[in-house]
Amino acid sequence: MKLATLFLLAPFATLAQSKPGPLLPPADPRIQKLVDEISAKNLEADIRKLVSFGTRHTLSDTQSPTRGIGASRNWVRDEFLKYSKAGGGRMTVEMDTFTVKPDGRRINKPVLMANVLATLPGTDPSDTRVILVSGHIDSRVSDVMNATADAPGANDDGSGTVLVMELARVLAGQKFPCTLKFVAVQGEEQGLYGSGHLAERAKRRLEPDCDAQQRHRGQLARLRPGHQRRQAPARVQRRRTGQ
């Protein structure tokens, strides 16, 4: 081997011999244990259950025990209650109802909507943080006003809803200094009504998750063209159109 070649190879040899430094902090065994408890089997079974309600359209049936938005949100509530019981009962569960009036667009009659909400209170009274994770339970077909056709919504947003559920299941028995909220919101496909209600509620109670929710709504509207974005105030529109 020629001397020049030896010189060229030298830096690589040094690199190969040096020990790589730790790139990540060591895994926290408590977190690792929780992560290991997330079950792909549960996630799939929960999505299949959500799909079995046929449609979860916001304007769909609320009386049937097996089909429509009413049956599906009752099921999520009952699951949350099971997780709470298994976790020692610290997690509270509620149907946060609110009425939306006809809006001349995607709501054609007064609708009683409900966000299914589970709250795991923080253990430190001086910790005012609220960490919130949400998915939307409602689904629809291309015709946004069709409340009877099958709308399985397995990915949009059944997958988000079951993720919220699985996190609630795994974390219900845990204790954290700050408060955690798990929410299946409704009315998203009709105009982001559920998360809007959640944000308003947070604002009213001066909960610190208000800004995050509003940002989340903005992100959703930007990231998912299928979602309807609420009309901006006239002043903002004028600015956008240069009028």
Task: Name the residues that contact Zn ion, by CB under 5 A.
Answer: 156-157
Burial 177-190 (b: 16+ CB within 10 A, else e): eebbbbbbbbbbbb
| Min separation Cβ 189 and Zn ion, Å | 6
- Smaller CB separation from Zn ion, 189 or 209: 189
| Min separation Cβ 160 and Zn ion, Å | 8
- Smaller CB separation from Zn ion, 86 or 149: 149
Nearest to 45 by CA among 183, 171, 136, 159: 159
- Smaller CB separation from Zn ion, 69 or 91: 69
* Structure-block tokens of residue 235: 């002043």
| Min separation Cβ 224 and Zn ion, Å | 6
| Min separation Cβ 207 and Zn ion, Å | 24
- Smaller CB separation from Zn ion, 156 or 166: 156
| Min separation Cβ 138 and Zn ion, Å | 8
CA distance 189 to 217: 12
CA distance 153 to 4: 64
- Smaller CB separation from Zn ion, 156 or 209: 156
| Min separation Cβ 159 and Zn ion, Å | 10
Q: Which residue is nearest to Zn ion (CB)?
A: 156
- Smaller CB separation from Zn ion, 51 or 170: 51
Beta strands in the chain (DSSP E): 92-100, 111-120, 130-136, 179-185
CA distance 33 to 186: 32
Q: Left, alpha or beta for 55 (phi > 0: left; psi -120 to 50: alpha)?
A: beta
3-state class (DSSP) for residue 241: helix
